[in-house]
Structure 1
Amino acid sequence: MQQRAINVILTGVTGTALAGMLVAGVAAASDDSAPSENPNLSQEAVATGQHKASEKHSDRSDAKSDSKGDSASDSKRAKKDRNVLLSGKTTASYFWDDGSGVNGDTGAPAGGKPMQKGLFASPSWPMHTKVKVTYKGRSITGFVGDRGPGRPSHNGVMLDLDTYTFRYLLDGGKPKSKYNAGGGEGHLKGVKWEVLDWGPGAGKKGAPRPFGS
């Protein structure tokens, strides 16, 4: 009888202990199965967020850079356009008037400055007008220092270039002499002219007009 009582007590105690262990095991299992933050996933998410932020910043920087580049380009283009007051194309001849009488030389240039490289003759533009001439990619900037050509201007020859400018535009070379450009050409067709600044001397602004008109 006494032994049975002891067995019953032991059985109760053992059962309670086992029950406690089962409860603890269930709780532990419950904790293990609960969702938790994955450290690797968190780092990946942070990295991805930083990458996206970096991309957005880069896009904004590129946009700003492009905007600045476009603005600078537009500014240069606008400035260049403002410097050109008038432009067109014509056929050009050449001359060198220094009072020698060679090739029909009529005397010193009418503009008051001695004959020189970069001195052009126009039938109508104001004296000392600044002009840029371009032909086949070569350019020279000079000024109107004389009147001419005369009769040819009525046939569309609206510029007389000094010998050195004429030969340079033709082929990049130098004239045979002051009075002879050489190269086998007496006229250059399709010379582009650009008026950069109207001179203060006598003459008429605007499109070139034939001599005496």
Structure 2
Amino acid sequence: MRFSLGPHKNRLAAVTLLGASILTSASVASALPASANSLYASPASASSAAALSTRDGLAPEVGSGATLLKGSTTASYFWDDASGRAGDTGLPASGKPMQKGMIASPSWPLFTEGYLLYKGKKAPFFVGDRGPGAPSSSGIMIDIDAKTFAELTGGTFNSSTLAVENNGGLGHIDVQYVVTKWGEGVGKKGYPVAFSTGAWGRKDLNPVAPPKAEPVEG
């Protein structure tokens, strides 16, 4: 899981949330509003989530299916390869190795797929980790892998420091997101919510309705 505060700055402060934020199934249910509890069921097993990938060690193929959800948010970046560098918090929660195209989400199911839009650039993604932690309470709802973040912002990824450089100092950007496939495990299938809500730990029985297709002018 990720608890970074953005581009590898003050990450240790966020890690202290680990003990308080990771809740048991029962405590997650009690932490959520009563209206939200009815939308969630018991967590699925970790083995069922791992079975979603058909290729060992690699991300699932990111499809270009119908739009299930679209919106916008502020995004930070990360690169967690279990090396312990730059406040790295360990391997991604999905069990997949850190790689280009992986994002962390505080509430969407793992292996959810879609794409990001930023200043005319498009980047496919799949949810492979949990986070941001504390920053998601301030509206930062996506952590983009550092290589993709570098491409989107015109920078370069420094594999030694795990930082994105030469992009004018950008550590956060405002992106549009489009979800084309929901993961089948636990998590909220709708607009992202803060990690602290515990929505990441419950199976959503009432996914958000896909947006209506815009009429074609003839």
TM-score between the two structures when normalised by the length of structure 1 = 0.59
Between the aligned partners of 2:196 and 2:150, the Cα distance in structure 1 is 28
Residues 1:144 and 2:139 aligned together = no
Q: Deviations over 1:12-53 (max 9, x none)?
A: xxxxxxxxxxxxxxxxxxxxxxxxxxxxxxxxxxxxxxxxxx
Match of 2:156 in 1: 174
Match of 1:30 in 2: none
Counterpart residue identity of residue 174, structure 1: T
Between the aligned partners of 2:111 and 2:75, the Cα distance in structure 1 is 18
Residues 1:196 and 2:192 aligned together = no
Between the aligned partners of 2:132 and 2:84, the Cα distance in structure 1 is 16
Residue 131 of structure 1: how far off its partner (Å): 2.1
Counterpart residue identity of residue 156, structure 1: G
Between the aligned partners of 1:170 and 1:89, the Cα distance in structure 2 is 17
Q: Which has the higher helix share?
A: 1
Between the aligned partners of 1:212 and 1:203, the Cα distance in structure 2 is 13
Residue 212 of structure 1: how far off its partner (Å): 2.5
Between the aligned partners of 2:86 and 2:178, the Cα distance in structure 1 is 28
Question: Which residue of 186, 204, 208 maps to 2:171?
Answer: 186
Match of 1:211 in 2: 195
Question: Which residue of 113, 120, 140 maps to 2:96?
Answer: 113
Between the aligned partners of 1:155 and 1:167, the Cα distance in structure 2 is 23
Contact 2:134–2:196 (Cα < 8 Å) also in 1: no
TM-score between the two structures when normalised by the length of structure 2 = 0.57
Match of 1:101 in 2: 84
Residues 1:125 and 2:108 aligned together = yes
Residue 201 of structure 1: how far off its partner (Å): 2.5
Between the aligned partners of 2:108 and 2:123, the Cα distance in structure 1 is 18
Counterpart residue identity of residue 193, structure 2: R
Residue 100 of structure 1: how far off its partner (Å): 1.0
Residues 1:157 and 2:140 aligned together = yes
Structure showing greater radius of gyration is 1
SS across alignment from 2:152: helix
Contact 2:110–2:129 (Cα < 8 Å) also in 1: yes
Q: How many residues align?
A: 131
5+ unaligned residues in a row in structure 2: which ranges?
A: 1-63, 198-218
What is the alpha-carbon root mean square deviation over aligned residues?
1.5
Which structure's relative contact order is higher, taking Cα pairs within 8 Å and 6+ residues apart? Answer: 2
